[in-house]
A and B are shown apart, each in its own frame.
Chain A
Amino acid sequence: MRLLVVEDEARIAEIVRAALSRDGFAVDVIGLCADAREALANTPYDAAILDLGLPDGDGLKLLRELRGKGNGLPVLVLTARDAVEHRVAGLDAGADDYLVKPFAMAELVARTKALLRRPGGALGTTLKAGNVALDTIGRDARCRTQTLELTRRETAILEHLMRRAGRVVPKAVLEDKLYGIDEELESNAIPVHVHHLRRKLLDNSATVEIHTVRGVGYLLVEGEA
């Protein structure tokens, strides 16, 4: 999979490239808006990581141009924390996610993978987290080679938690996703499904854990592989 990193700070670009390469991505690093525009026009990337403060222009402008052409490339925006309004502006301009500088490398890799795990993304068909793999087409969840015997609802919950692994998925979002399956959703349906899902993962020695963030939602964390 090929990623474009638009970052003018050479040291950060270098380390980001090294880290993403280690995870098996092919990474192109570009430091200028103009060069990025050309690269995006000529190369089919799977995702882009875009720093907003570039020497020859605003990254947001580049992003708007891209979206204006109907390009749906997953884009993760890097921004400085003090420009809080920019976070919103970034998302409005069509960013799929944003990360505030300074960031932990592991976070950047996780977010990038999450982008690619979106439906239609490069990693969107077979989701992987820890030793768990989920084929979103075949609806087949496995722990190592062991098939997890999951219900449709548990599979749906696992899918959404895996697509956003490492981040909190609001309970309301899961309820929306399950609405198509359970026409009349009981108020404790999600906790019950999550409880069963958790039990099944544990029984199969899965290296992912589902944490409850009380009052907000659920969080799937990859443990040590």
Chain B
Amino acid sequence: MTIGMPRSLQGRLALRLAALFVAGAVALVGFLAWRAYDTADSLSDRELSLRADDLARYVTPDGSGGARLALPKSLQDAYSDPANGDIFAIRDARGRLVGAVPPAFGKTVQQWAPTGDHAAYLHFSGVGEGGADYYGLGLTVDSAAGPLSVWVARAAGANALVHSFLEEFVFDIAWVIPLFMLLALAVAVFAIRSTLKPMREVSQAAGSIGPANTSARLPTAGLPSEVVPLVGAVNRALERLEQGFALQRQFTANAAHELRTPLAIVTVALDSIETGAELEKLKGDVARMNRLVEQLLSVARLDAVALDVSAEVDLNQPAKDVVASLAPWAVAQNRAIGLSAADKPVLVRGNGYAIADAVRNLVENAVVHAPPGSEVTVAVHDDGRISVTDHGTGVAQPDRERIFERFWRGLATRSHGAGLGLPIVAEIMKAHGGQVTVGDAPEAGAIFTLEFAPARAAPPAGGRG
């Protein structure tokens, strides 16, 4: 039950960042709004207290121990419209009302206790026609006539401008914040993608490594330093694997090479002994061992080096060479070999020796499986194919894939070979970007076909089609 959590590192990072950004945006907008209102409140508090100070400046002693308010013209105008503006009331230290606008506010204030050291908030429900609500504060201010209790308030509507500024900020400016967060998220996702790009490249490099190219290593350039140790460890593992592979190949090559000389000795020694029934069997055994050793060497060679398949080869040539070189051997086995060459050169990109090796393996195989007196036919086709047909028992359907696997030996082939010939053919064809297939010959028997990509149409890179 992993709901919604994507599997990719990129997806996970993006999802978490998105959640973080949304939470961040909400918190930031909320905080800003709260701060804005708070600031607005304290701004208006501060303004009111300044106003109280202002008013107190115009309070002077009246000579009889009381106080008198003498507002200049400008201030009188400012307080002339209490319905929409500001109101105030001032009492002297003895509690007598010094001045109030409107007078109704003065009356109300007369019933209040004098102000304390700290400003106290007040709410005054309006008087007269307007009936507006007033909010303000009462505070004690020093003046020429001693400490005064001053109440200043402002009609609720008078703060509309400030609040509209605030609303404008929250609703016109603050919405930019989520947008900005969204933009930041996009940038972050892009950054994640580009940061992970080297890792995708490393994955691709890793994906291409197989037994054929064990020398490949994963690139560490451009990788995040956290990932470098992992890639380094993988590279070291590849190193050890390659050494294992190399050791195994080296062993195959060395073993086959070392076996060759004593086998050559046994081969020529058997030839020099006078004939006998047992001797002929021994010769057959040694011939098989020779073939096995040669095939092991072929396999080791194919494994060890990439085949150079860049030359232009006329398929008629290797076919003809192989038929000519194997004909004496086939005749000695009481089998014939025939060649049906193409009328014109059939050019492919490839390695002539390797192609000859492939054809040789197929012909040897066919001669071994052909009935005495029959002909093994090698045919070169105009479309870049070489086929080898025999009149033997053929290859059973279920075995057709497996005969190209190393050391696989079908029941029918139990007495011949080590099961390396056809795998060698398959590998040579793979190196040529082609393939080897097996089917039923028109008459009884098997037909093996080497399919090449013709060189005429496709230049060196030479894929099929």
What residues of chain A have their CB less than 8 Å away from a CB belonging to chain B? 9, 11-12, 15-16, 18-19, 22, 80-82, 84-85, 101-106, 108, 166-168, 170, 211-217, 219, 221
Q: Which of A81, A105, A170, A215 contacts B268 (CB 8 A)?
A: A105
Say whether A168 contacts B324, CB under 8 Å: yes
Contacts of B267 in A (CB 8 A): 102-105
B44 CB within 8 Å of chain A: no
Beyond A81-B297, A101-B260, A102-B264, is A214–B269 a contact (Cβ under 8 Å)? no
Query: How far, in Å, is A166 (CB) from chain B's closest CB?
Result: 6
Say whether B261 contacts A9, CB under 8 Å: yes
Contacts of B264 in A (CB 8 A): 9, 12, 101-103
Say whether A213 contacts B338, CB under 8 Å: yes
Contacts of B261 in A (CB 8 A): 9, 12
Q: How far is the CA of A88 from the CA of B307 in the complex (A)?
A: 18
Other A-B contacts than A167-B328, A215-B338, A215-B340, 10 sampled, CB-CB below 8 A, are A84-B353, A105-B267, A105-B268, A212-B336, A214-B339, A214-B377, A215-B320, A215-B378, A216-B323, A219-B328
Say whether A105 contacts B271, CB under 8 Å: yes
Report the interface size for chain B: residues with CB under 8 A from the other chain.
34
Nearest B residue to A169 via CB reads B324
Contacts of B301 in A (CB 8 A): 82
Contacts of A84 in B (CB 8 A): 353
Contact with A along B341-354 (1 / 0, CB 8 A): 10000000000010
Q: How far is the CA of A83 from the CA of B463 in the complex (A)?
A: 28
Say whether A103 contacts B268, CB under 8 Å: yes
Q: How far is the CA of A214 from the CA of B263 in the complex (A)?
A: 33
Beyond A9-B265, A106-B271, is A216–B340 a contact (Cβ under 8 Å)? no
Beyond A15-B272, A102-B290, is A216–B328 a contact (Cβ under 8 Å)? no
Nearest B residue to A102 via CB reads B264
Contacts of B298 in A (CB 8 A): 82
Say whether A168 contacts B260, CB under 8 Å: no
Contacts of B265 in A (CB 8 A): 9, 11-12, 15
Say whether B268 contacts A213, CB under 8 Å: no
Contacts of A219 in B (CB 8 A): 327-328, 331
B242 CB within 8 Å of chain A: no
B239 CB within 8 Å of chain A: no
Q: How far is the CA of A9 from the CA of B262 in the complex (A)?
A: 10
B294 CB within 8 Å of chain A: yes
B337 CB within 8 Å of chain A: yes
